[in-house]
Amino acid sequence: MISFEPFRQSFDFWHRQGLNQYCRLMREQLEAAMLRPCRPHGLIISEQDTNGVKSELVYWDHDTPRRYVVYLHGGGYVLGSIDTHRELAAQIAHRANARVLIVEYRLAPEGPYPAGLNDAQAAYQWLLDIGVTPAQIAFAGDSAGGGLALALMQRLKAANLPLPAAGVFLSPWVDLTCSTPSLDTNTATDLILNKAQMQSFAHVYAGGHPLSDAGISPLFGDLSELPPSLVQVSRQELLLDDGVRLAERLQQAGSEAKISKWSQMPHVWQLLHRYLPQADEALRELGDFLQEHVRGEPV
């Protein structure tokens, strides 16, 4: 079992230990705690160099349609990897009948903003370079990865570059100023996240940039003319209001957005599909959404 106690230590503790060192320690503990299941029969994992960024293409058998999902993992911009999210990517590939490209973007403190955003864009460009059309691609991410996916959409739009066909945001962290009310009101019901920790990770990721910068907190960026989006969030987690506000502001800006709120679920409960029927249901909803909005070309 993973112990979340180190994640819930006070900011004073982190400051005394050295925040950068603490981030690296948490990364090592998360990697060590994750299960390493055997590869299921029929799952294909192909390592890729996506314009200089390490990635993996995950899909099931050779008949999978040419529908792609660029997946950006969560972890507060300081934790997480392909290894921690490969199993979730495999489930998304199965439910969406797609090929999922998991991107090993750079993490803070070694790679603060905009390093991860640059890496995500490079991986997306790689798909375009090999002939995949934007209509065949979706962006998806959990927690910080959801924020990164949204920031990438906004960057592409501002540069008049092609946008993907859809976006999926699982418990997204889109306001790194940590000003949404549920970061305080849901303190007692979120057993994973901690506001003080999130504030510290936000500063590590932002470096010298303002936390309200739209590239860092995409909730404050231009949300108009973005592709259809699905937002899944738990009513009990700290990031409830990040997800709700994202869906509301997308809708207010004229973009299509569906908000799906779930009760009594932990942060990014989709990772627990082996144990929670609600996670299985959420993945089914995600898969149906992607199949509806993202074109899948035959092999």
DSSP code at position 66:
B
Contact status, residue 288 vs residue 281, Cβ threshold 8 Å: no
pLDDT computed for residue 7 by the predictor:
43
Per-residue pLDDT tens digits of the chain, which is 299 residues long: 333 444 445 444 545 456 676 566 666 666 665 555 555 778 999 999 999 999 999 999 866 788 999 999 999 999 999 999 999 999 999 999 999 999 999 999 999 999 999 999 999 999 999 999 999 999 999 999 999 999 999 999 999 999 999 999 999 999 999 999 999 999 999 999 999 999 999 999 999 999 999 999 999 999 999 999 999 999 999 999 999 999 999 999 999 999 999 999 999 999 999 999 999 999 999 999 999 999 998 76
* Ramachandran quadrant class, 19 (left: phi over 0; alpha: psi -120 to 50; beta: rest): alpha
Whether the CA torsion 233, 236, 240, 241 is positive or negative: it is positive
Q: How far is CA 163 from CA 150, 195, 262, in A?
A: 11, 32, 29
Q: How far is CA 68 from CA 21, 45, 122, 160, 294, in A?
A: 36, 14, 15, 21, 8
Contact status, residue 182 vs residue 241, Cβ threshold 8 Å: yes
pLDDT computed for residue 26 by the predictor:
60
Q: What is the pTM of this model?
A: 0.90
pLDDT computed for residue 65 by the predictor:
80
| d(C-alpha 205, C-alpha 278), whole Å | 32
- Is residue 75 helix, strand or coil? coil
**Residues annotated as part of the active site:** 143, 237, 267
pLDDT computed for residue 15 by the predictor:
52
The H-or-E segment that residue 203 falls in is helix 195-206
Reference 170, options 261, 87, 109; nearest CA is: 261
Strand partners, 55: 48, 103
The H-or-E segment that residue 58 falls in is strand 53-60
pLDDT computed for residue 4 by the predictor:
41
Domain ranges of the chain: 5-293
Tell me which of 3.30.460.80, 3.40.50.800, 3.40.50.720, 3.40.50.1820 is the CATH number of domain 5-293. 3.40.50.1820
pLDDT computed for residue 266 by the predictor:
97
